[in-house]
Chains A and B, each alone.
Chain A
Amino acid sequence: MKTVGRQQIIKVLSQKGFVIIEKKRHLFLVFTDGAGRQSDIRTFLSRGSGYNEYSLPLLKVMKNELRLERLQQLEELLNCPLSEQDYRALLVTQGDLT
Chain B
Amino acid sequence: MQQLAIRGIYQNGMVLLPQPIRYKSKTEVVLVFPLRPDTTLHFDRVVNEATELRFKHSIEAKLLADGDILFLGYPELGITGYGQDLRETTQNFQEVFIATFEHYTRQPDTVLTDKAQQLKAKLTDLVTQYVNLLETEL
- A residues apposed to B, CB below 8 Å: 21, 23, 25-26, 28, 30, 33, 36-40, 42, 44, 46, 50, 55-58, 60-61, 64-65, 96-98
- B residues apposed to A, CB below 8 Å: 66-69, 71, 78, 80, 82, 84, 92, 95-96, 99-100, 103-104, 107, 110-116, 118-119
| In contact, A65 and B113 (Cβ under 8 angstroms) | no
Report the number of A-B residue pairs with Cβ-Cβ less than 8 Å.
68
| In contact, A57 and B116 (Cβ under 8 angstroms) | no
Known: A38-B111, A55-B67, A57-B67. A65 touches B80 (CB 8 A): yes
- Chain B residues with Cβ below 8 Å from A25 are 92, 95
| In contact, B99 and A56 (Cβ under 8 angstroms) | no
User: B63 to chain A: closest CB distance in Å?
Assistant: 13
- Chain A residues with Cβ below 8 Å from B66 are 57, 60
The distance in angstroms between the C-alpha atoms of A55 and B99, with both chains bound, is: 23
- Chain A residues with Cβ below 8 Å from B80 are 44, 61, 64-65
**Prevailing SS type, chain A contact patch:** mixed
| In contact, B67 and A38 (Cβ under 8 angstroms) | no
| In contact, A38 and B113 (Cβ under 8 angstroms) | yes
| In contact, A30 and B115 (Cβ under 8 angstroms) | no
The distance in angstroms between the C-alpha atoms of A56 and B92, with both chains bound, is: 19
- Chain A residues with Cβ below 8 Å from B116 are 37-40
Partner of B113 from the list A37, A44, A55 (CB cut-off 8 Å) is A37
Partner of B69 from the list A23, A44, A55, A97 (CB cut-off 8 Å) is A55
The distance in angstroms between the C-alpha atoms of A41 and B18, with both chains bound, is: 44
| In contact, A98 and B96 (Cβ under 8 angstroms) | no
